[in-house]
């Protein structure tokens, strides 16, 4: 065999795997499978075109409570939360909002809503129960009994309104949009919004030379929670703690100091018990767990502050009622002043 024949490459030689070889071009007419490209979104995982969704410009992943609970949202396309019609449909069948939003609910067995998706047949009974509950409540936005002219601001989880028969002209109620008996057992998303509202009220009243006092009476068989906000002159702020303790002593019970504020109070809160708590200027919280047969005055917080402000005749809200026209004027004055502080604007 000649030298030339010995050096020639046999026709059936296996190619070296480390040799750079140009990839063969695909045959004419062949198309590349979408799944072969890592640069394309894998829409086959979740066909969004089949979801009946409406997104605001923010394109957030979390659901908009107002849209889910009512089917509409005043922010429209400007809303930073997701408008999902299927979630709204499930909510109308009695499914828990937290379950729809996060896939779980922190309330567990204490939750009044369902933790599984419901079929069409389950809708009527749930809707009827929800409708009856809302109609009976003064504070549910969907209730025909709600006095909407008192509303000053509406957020994602909370709304604010001037108090009916207010202790002072700028006496405000912070209320959850969801029909729930207290503000302490709501999810962390709700708590963050509440913290923003409280900070806004503190700043607003601070500019007027006042301090905000927050208090809530949590009745275990209560219906719709309301956290009351009453401004007092800054000159009286240091006396708030003492006057609440003095009033408690006269009624035969002690107020307990809660360190670390609402965060600790939320952890300690027992839903099987009633509770009163007040956040005094400076952020400290005084609380009292109400025993089953204890006769606790429902207007305790208001009565104490009425005494502090030397307006004892206004301790009963029924003595402070004004007509609707005057209430509307009070709301407009408050909204105009609070507008630059309102986190919902």
Per-residue pLDDT tens digits for 238-251: 999 999 999 999 99
Same domain, 108 and 155: no
Residue 88: predicted pLDDT: 79
Residues whose CB is less than 8 angstroms from the CB of residue 201 and which lie 6 or more positions away in sequence, other chains included: 172, 212, 229, 341
Residue 118, in any domain of the structure: yes
Q: Could you say which of 134, 153, 170 is where a domain stops? A: 134
Report yes or no: 87 and 60 within 8 Å, Cβ to Cβ: no
Whether 205 is in a domain gets the answer: yes
Question: For residue 326, what pLDDT is reported?
Answer: 96
Looking at the structure, tell me whether residues 85 and 212 fall in a common domain: no
CA angle 104, 110, 116 (to 5 degrees): 40
Instruction: Please indicate, yes or no, if residue 33 is contained in any of the structural domains.
Output: no
Neighbours of 133 (CB within 10 A): 16
How many domains does the chain divide into? 2
Residue written as tokens 């937290």?
98
Do residue 225 and residue 128 come from a single domain?
no
76, 107, 134: which is the final residue of a domain? 134
Per DSSP, the three-state class of 305 is helix
Convert the pLDDT of each residue in 107-140 to its tens digit. Answer: 777 676 788 888 765 545 444 544 455 556 888 8
Q: Are residues 310 and 263 in the same domain?
A: yes
Tokens (6 digits) for 186: 């709501």
Which stretch of DSSP H or E encloses residue 160?
strand 158-162
pTM value surpassing 0.75: no
Q: Could you tell me if 164 and 312 lie in one domain? A: yes
Q: State the Cα–Cα distance between residues 317 and 78, nearest whole angstrom.
A: 38
Low-confidence ranges of the chain (pLDDT < 50): 14-27, 29-59, 123, 125-127, 129-131
Which pair of tokens denotes residue 32? 């590349």
Of 85, 111, 134, which one is at a domain's C-terminal end? 134
185 shares a domain with 107: no
Question: What does the angle CA 91 – CA 96 – CA 99 come to, to the nearest 5 degrees?
Answer: 115
Same domain, 95 and 229: no
Both 300 and 177 in one domain: the answer is: yes
Indicate if 193 and 70 belong to the same structural domain: no
Task: Tell whether 280 and 187 lie within a shared domain.
Answer: yes
Q: How confident is the model at residue 24, as a pLDDT? A: 46
Range of 107's domain? 50-134
- Residue 229 near residue 173 (C-beta atoms within 8 A): yes
Do 297 and 313 belong to one domain? yes
Burial, 68: exposed, middle or buried (Cβ in 10 Å; 0-12, 13-18, 19+)? buried
- My answer on whether 216 and 264 are in the same domain is yes
Pinpoint the alpha helices (H) of the chain. Answer: 3-7, 65-70, 85-92, 97-102, 123-136, 188-207, 240-251, 261-268, 300-308, 324-338
**Per-residue model confidence (pLDDT) at position 54:** 47
User: Which residues lie closer than 8 Å to 52 by C-beta, 6 or more apart?
Assistant: 84, 85, 86
């Amino acid at each position: 065999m000649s030298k030339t024949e010995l050096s020639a490459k046999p026709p059936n030689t296996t190619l070296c795997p480390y040799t750079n070889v140009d990839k063969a071009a695909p045959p004419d007419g062949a198309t590349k499978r979408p799944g072969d490209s890592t640069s394309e979104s894998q829409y086959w995982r979740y066909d969004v075109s089949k979801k009946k969704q409406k997104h605001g410009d923010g394109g957030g992943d979390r659901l908009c409570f107002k849209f889910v609970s009512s089917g509409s949202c005043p922010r429209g396309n400007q809303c930073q939360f997701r408008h999902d019609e299927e979630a709204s449909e499930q909510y109308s069948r009695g499914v828990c909002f937290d379950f729809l939003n996060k896939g779980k609910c922190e309330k567990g067995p204490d939750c009044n809503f369902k933790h599984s998706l419901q079929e069409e047949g389950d809708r009527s009974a749930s809707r009827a129960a929800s409708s009856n509950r809302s109609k009976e409540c003064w504070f549910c936005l969907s209730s025909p009994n709600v006095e909407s002219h008192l509303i000053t601001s509406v957020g994602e989880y909370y709304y604010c309104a001037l108090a009916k028969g207010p202790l002072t002209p700028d006496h405000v109620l912070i209320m959850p949009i969801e029909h729930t008996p207290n503000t302490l057992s709501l999810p962390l998303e709700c708590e963050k919004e509440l913290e923003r509202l409280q900070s806004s009220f503190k700043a607003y009243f601070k500019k007027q030379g006042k301090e905000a006092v927050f208090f809530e009476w949590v009745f275990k068989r209560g219906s719709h929670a309301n956290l009351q906000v009453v401004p007092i002159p800054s000159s009286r702020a240091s006396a708030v703690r003492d006057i609440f303790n003095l009033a408690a002593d006269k009624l035969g019970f002690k107020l307990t100091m809660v360190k670390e504020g609402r965060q600790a109070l939320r952890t300690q809160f027992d839903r099987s018990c009633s509770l009163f708590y007040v956040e005094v200027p400076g952020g400290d919280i005084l609380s009292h767990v109400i025993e089953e047969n204890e006769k606790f005055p429902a207007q305790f917080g208001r009565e104490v502050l009425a005494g502090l402000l030397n307006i004892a005749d206004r301790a009963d809200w029924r003595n402070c009622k004004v007509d609707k026209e005057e209430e509307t004027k009070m709301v407009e004055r408050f909204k105009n002043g609070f507008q630059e502080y309102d986190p919902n604007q």
